[in-house]
Structure 1
Amino acid sequence: MEQRSGVPVGQDHSVWDYVLPKMDFPGTPLYKDGPKPFDLESLIYNIQLGADCRYVRNYLANYDKAHVRRELNGIIDGFPSIFYVVARNDDSILRLWVANGGNVGAIHEASQVPLLAFAIAHSENSQRDMTAIVATILGLGADPACIPEEFYTPYTDDLPIDGPETIEENEKTAWCKIEARKKLGKTLNFSQRYFLWRATCTDRPSVRAKQITLRKNAQAILEIPYFMIGQTVASNRIFTRLLNHISMPSSKTKPNMKPLVLVFAGPSGHGKTELARQLGHLLSLDLEVADCTIVEHERELFGPRHPYVGAERGTPLNNFLARHADQGCIAFLDEFEKTTKDVHEALLLPFDNGEYQDRRDLRRINCTKTIWILATNALDEQIISFCDRYEDIIVGDESTKQKLGRTLSKELKQAFLQRFGAPLTGRISDFVPFVPFSAGEQAVVAHKFLRELTSTIREPVDLCEGSGERLIGNINLHVKHDASVCTTIAKSDYSRDLGARSLSVAVKAVEGLVVELYYQEDEEIVEDGKMMDVMVDSHAGEIRVKLLDPSS
């Protein structure tokens, strides 16, 4: 029977197998003989073949923006074009698509399946983790209510393999019939349920916020509250601060020339570095991480000034700032409490008006577009004490969390002032608190590491010589009752002092159990060998790993 649009011709098109058609199109490069009239089908064909984000961006740049926005949501073989973009599982291409007019609320007309549901279900066909794409779709504005809330409320409960027995059907969920529920029940993982739940608790950006970010080409700012596990106080404060920073007007008499300087304060392993890296990724900004534990003098951070010995080499941070003169970038000073007074004094001028001097040649550098982040554990005692007094900053509703977050931020400013002095404190734009994870968030962090393990050991065995060698691979890791498994790991191993690091170590122990099973197989490791199916489950508070019978 002829196959078309993932549904056999002649059958009920309201039932779809979530498979997109492979484009049957001549393999002619889009740029051969120069740009041609905008061709959406050719572009989708090349995306299916593996075209990267730069390729897509360069192609779109050849055409009038208004024309691209009119054409980009076209239907290709019965599916909105953005379905093919999501299937590619590349969040950078998806963001680019939406920035140029792509619609994350798109629906496959024949089955009425929304894009968000397709992203979840596609993991089975692609055998890839689609969690980052699901979170990105939510961050870009998709309505989580198109997925029945029975699938993710409460997100800490295990989801039946066939999905909920019943759902409260409404206009948004009418597409989710029995077969669709079974598909989602099989493919919707613990982390995705968390992000769906979190999206329902997060206020959508206002029309004006969308307008400002669009005019400033900074739409990715709108995603900030959606991609972190926990830390809603931190992500919302950063969202608000960045929105304010890019929208305030400048004039000749009152230029907006101060760089953004943020203090990230909180216990280790609770997302300070992760949030900085995600900001760099979302905003397409280069990030330089400076380890302040090895800095005793300012010259170790920035280098000696010309003409002193060694000035010509500079330092990683000095050279990074010089390369990004008058450009947006992120300078992340980790464990800032280890720095000394001369470092603080050296930062006063860059923090105040964005002026910096390249130590190699004394050239003046404009750093007004630099985002400075000072990460510190020096205020942990104040944060833990506050959380013990006001537990709702961790487990309360979002409104309560944000209110308590403002109070905590003020307390941190006073503590920072006592520790680092008025000159430096007066140049800080905001104090961003990072708090311990709730019980549910701890479990989701554990699941993040399990997902990473699953992706790593699924890669094929490679017996080449050198760095590409991969002796452990071709393993399908199945996490049965993923919420229970991750809750068991979190209850046993989470530490407020270590945060995510404690859960990473715990998942390393699971990895050890899987590897032990792998090496017990009494046959030679070969490339292109059969897949090995391993189940992870929990029982009576213990994690168990077993080999699945391939015939079952």
Structure 2
Amino acid sequence: MAKKVNRKKKGYTAKTIAEPLPPNSPTTICTGDPLRVPLAPSTDLPWPSQRPVEPEKDELDFDARFFASVKSIPESDDDFSEILQANSPARTSISSYNSSTCTPEPLYIPEPLYIPEIELEPSDNTSSQENWEPEDDERIAKYKTRQIKLPGVKSRRDYEEFKSSAGKDWFFKDFFNRSMLPSAIVYYKTYDDFSVKEVARQLSVLPVAGCKYREVQTPLTAYRDSRINGTPTIFYAVYSRNPGKVKKWLKEGADPNSVADLKDLFDSKEDGYKLVPVKIPLLAFAILLEEPEIVRLLLTFGANPLVIPGILRLPVIKPAIYRLSKSPEGITKEFVENISQDEATKWCTDAVVFNRLKLATNLSIRYDLQKADTFKITARQRQLAQDPQPKMDYTPLFKLHFDIIGQNLAVKKIIQELLRRKVRKISSWPCESTRDRPTVFIFAGPKDHEQSKMVIQIARNLGIPFFSFSELDYTLCSDPDGKNNILELLLDEQAGSETKPDEVSEFCIFVLENVEEMSSGALNSLFTRPIKAKKDGFTSRDLSKTIWVVTTNILNPMITAFYEEHQPLTPEKMTGKEGRALMSAMKKFVRSGTTSLSVFADYVDSIIPFFPFDENEQLALAHRALWKLRSQLLRPISLANNYGRNFLGNIKLVTEKDYQHCRMIAKSYNPNEGAGSMKQAVADIEREIFYHFLESSEDAISEKDEKEVTEYILKVEKENDAILVQTGNVMPKEDF
């Protein structure tokens, strides 16, 4: 018998449990792993009795525990954030269950979906907040500032005042009490050699894990094992929000899976709030700071994405929707079993912690977590990449699949080929005559689908220079008689000259853009002549550390046809018969001699296809563009009359439903134009923000504005396909 709910909460209307779900209501489906397959809210149609549910694709921003404990259905079309808060792991658990595997089938629900009453049993794995009633909602409300803190870190102003009063010897004066070391790690400048050395020196005498006494450590051990009051020092590097510092700690051996036992993590301006102790993984700490770049860096060095609850690692869009093949009780039990009782995620069973993590896990971070979960870097690959010589350490290459949106096949092939080249160079190899040859890639596919960014990120991650050439560059650099030896001059500088064979070669990348537009003279000068082999089969220089990247649009029809026929492009397809057929067809075309690509036929190591972006990838691109705009608006206001003068700044961009804004941007995506086709949509948002900035106040920008941060809230007006800007909270800059 259905029961009625007596308790009413703000934003909810009590309903009979057995009533059917309206089309706007969230639900979850199962295809073996209920945490990975969302069923999104349906279209906003009237809800007649006995009508089948027809959901549309949407961003998954709700909690599957909806089935377990929601006994009242929200009337609004909000993104169910209140439901997620009300049903965090601290509030719902089920002790045990027997589950079976779900099989995907086409969606069809002839009868309306009912929610049966579910009796919940307490679990030993829930926190003290399990009896959630109004108390958890009050606790959550006290932490809406999203500020988190680390013990011992003072404000930047206090830090700078201490440095100023102590003078040049401030590190030495504070050597014994180290009260300022946490702040020093957070605020020191990575380009200041003195500060870098002094921080390393102080780290070397800190206690390390498993050691009760202070012993002087080597620099490697200092970064890797040093702790401040039990907290690994890499937490302070992450807290600095400086990816360069975090990378320094990681490269020196710090554990990306470090855990800190923090007694009071969250900051609140409310009086009488209770402390929120939590044993938090480093990855979750970076997410709470809302630092996607640092999150990607930690994942690159092996941070375990499974410490984040599966509901927050869901794909942005589910491309296929399947029928519910389980009862709501079964889905609920499976969800709770995976979230609340999983060893890796027990740390976030507190309602406040889970809610804050949910708020901070934006669309880009979800995409990166999903990628880390599906694109695996093996222990063998990491072993081959590591090297004591910084210039031979290829570990940063693994960041490519986070730097690049989509293009998983391209990233995989590049990593494989560069690791092969490295092993071939440092060990005996059957084919000695090819050891000094360069690595040659052909990047093929529609323009602006991460080809240029791939080159830039390879160069940046490995710390090597790259040089780009087009037909125009060749013409401008040629002598009056047509002779051009610019690339050979660069090779003399980077790879060692012919007259100095013992000269140590350096890594570098040469990019030949749109080779179909290059003349035969340009190709001969920029490629054939510099790498031509001698009679004994060896090249005239040691080019083993040089990489040639050739970009072309000639293969576009072949790649686009393959994509349209075989999407979604799963790893199984790309490594299976279909993928092999594509690679074979491209190789035959290159060797056919009908185009300028035949010049590279005898040298190319890998032809790499770049495919159009799917819907998930379009949204991820849009969000990264928004995040870049957010970073630009956060720049400090400066009224000084110098090069740093800036009036438009101290603005925190808030996107309450980031997937809606990203959908608006992604509508402008054109497969023939690539990522560039969405730039105008982002420029339109930037324009609206500036117009709002002009009209939001009649007062001139003053020193007061330099000390405050203002929220600009973006809201979507669906009926007009418009994005509106509103002014939100104004907060002191120090609090931000």
Tell me, yes or no, whether TM beats 0.5: yes
Give 1:501's aligned residue: 676
Q: Check whether the contact 1:354–1:367 (CA below 8 A) recurs between aligned residues.
A: no
Residues 289 and 516 (structure 1 numbering): CA distance in 2 closer, same or farther, change over 3 Å?
A: same
1:268-279 to structure 2, matched below 5 A, reads 268-279=447-458
Q: Which residue of 2 aligns with 1:18?
A: 148
Specify the code of the residue in structure 2 equivalent to 1:68: P
Aligned: 1:432 with 2:608: yes
Kept after mapping to 2: 8 A contact 1:379/1:416: no
What SS does the corresponding residue of 2:345 show, helix, strand or coil? Answer: coil
Secondary structure of 1:548's aligned partner: strand
Query: Is 2:478 aligned against 1:478?
Result: no
Residue 133 of structure 1 and its aligned partner are, at CA, apart by 0.7
Structure possessing the higher radius of gyration over alpha carbons: 2
Which consecutive residues of structure 2, in runs of 5 or more, have no partner in the other structure? 1-127, 129-138, 205-215, 263-277, 319-334, 496-504, 732-736
* Contact 2:184/2:199, CA 8 A, preserved across alignment: no
Match of 1:525 in 2: 700
Partner of residue 313 from structure 2, selected from 124, 149, 152: 152
Tell me if structure 1 keeps the 8 A contact 2:436–2:543. no
Sort the Cα spacing of 1:49 and 1:60 in 2 relative to 1 into closer, same or farther, 3 A: closer
CA distance in 1, matches of 2:600, 2:373: 39
What's the CA shift for 1:510? 1.0
1:477 CA displacement = 1.4
Structure 1 position 549, deviation (Å): 4.9
Q: Are 2:405 and 2:620, in contact at CA under 8 Å, matched by a contact in 1?
A: yes
> Aligned partners of 1:85 and 1:51: how far apart in 2?
12
- Aligned equivalent of 2:256, options 91, 104, 110: 104
Structure 1 residue identity aligned to 2:621: V
Alignment: residue pair count: 500
- Which residue of the other structure, out of 443, 460, 472, is the alignment partner of 1:264? 443
In structure 2, distance between residues paired with 1:282 and 1:43: 29
| Kept in 2: contact 1:352–1:427 (CA 8 A) | no
Call closer, same or farther: CA 1:254–1:293 in 2, change over 3 Å.
closer
**1:204 counterpart = 2:377:** yes
Partner of 2:358: 185
Q: Which of 517, 525, 528 is 1:348 aligned to?
A: 528
The equivalent residue for 2:282 is 115
Q: Larger % of helix: which?
A: 1
Which amino acid in structure 1 is aligned with residue 342 of structure 2?
N
**1:264-292 per-position Cα deviation (integer Å, ceiling 9, x unaligned):** 111112100111111111111112222x1
1:132 CA displacement:
0.8
Counterpart for residue 410 of structure 1: 584
* C-alpha displacement of 1:191: 0.3
Conserved? CA contact 1:348–1:427, under 8 Å:
no
Matched, 1:442 2:442: no
CA distance in 2, matches of 1:546, 1:422: 53
Partner of 2:303: 142
Does the CA contact (< 8 Å) of 1:265 and 1:377 recur in 2? yes
Which residue of structure 2 aligns with residue 67 of structure 1?
Answer: 218
Report the equivalent of 1:535: 713
Matches within 5 A, 1:146-545: 146-156=307-317, 167-176=339-348, 177-206=350-379, 208-215=380-387, 216-248=392-424, 249-251=426-428, 254=432, 256-290=435-469, 292-295=470-473, 300=476, 303-304=478-479, 315=486, 320-325=490-495, 326-346=505-525, 347-351=527-531, 366-393=542-569, 396=570, 398-403=571-576, 404-417=578-591, 418-420=594-596, 422-465=598-641, 467-490=643-666, 492-528=667-703, 529=705, 530-540=708-718, 542-545=721-724
SS in 2 for 1:451: helix
TM-score, normalised with respect to structure 1: 0.80
CA distance in 2, matches of 1:481, 1:33: 45
Further displaced range: 232-241 or 410-419: 410-419
Contact 1:259 1:353 (8 Å CA) reproduced: no
The 1:107/1:285 distance shift into structure 2, 3 A limit, reads same
d(CA) in 1 for partners of 2:602 and 2:167? 55
1:168-197 Cα deviation digits (max 9, x unpaired): 431000001211111112222110110001
Query: Closer, same or farther in 2 for the Cα pair 1:344/1:90, shift >3 Å?
Result: same
Q: 1:98-140: per-residue Cα shift (whole Å, max 9, x none)? A: 22211000001342100000001123xxxxxx11111111111
Residue 468 of structure 1, CA deviation: 3.7
Change (3 A) 1:44 1:402: farther
Alpha-carbon separation, structure 1, partners of 2:610 and 2:394: 24
One-letter amino acid matched to 2:296:
A
1:97/1:33 CA distance change after superposition, 3 Å: closer
Worse-superposed segment, 533-542 or 166-175: 533-542
SS in 1 for 2:722: strand
Aligned-partner Cα distance in 2 for 1:76–1:486:
41
Amino acid aligned to 1:498: E
- SS of the residue 2:549 aligns to: strand
SS of the aligned residue for 1:331 comes to strand
Spell out, residue by residue over 1:292-334, the C-alpha distance to the aligned partner (whole angstroms, 9 max, x if none): 1525xx5656x449xx7998xx75x555444323100112222
Q: Which amino acid aligns with 1:50?
A: Y
Offset of residue 454 of structure 1? 1.1
Counterparts of 1:415 and 1:466 in 2: how far apart (Å)? 56
Paired residue type of 2:259? I
Aligned Cα root-mean-square deviation (Å): 3.7
SS at 1:262 equivalent: strand
The two structures have a TM-score, normalised by structure 2, of 0.61
Aligned-pair identity in percent equals 23
Q: Distance in 1 between matches of 2:492 and 2:197?
A: 27
The Cα offsets for residues 188-208 of structure 1, whole Å up to 9 and x where unpaired, read as 2110110001111112322x2
- Say if 2:459 and 2:466, in contact at 8 Å, map to a contact too: yes
Pair 117,299 (structure 1): closer, same or farther in 2 beyond 3 Å: same
Name the CA distance, whole Å, in 1 between partners of 2:725 and 2:249. Answer: 42
- Are the equivalent residues in 1 in contact too, given 2:717–2:724 (CA < 8 A)? no
Structure 1 pair 147–415 and aligned structure 2 pair: CA distance change class (3 A)? same
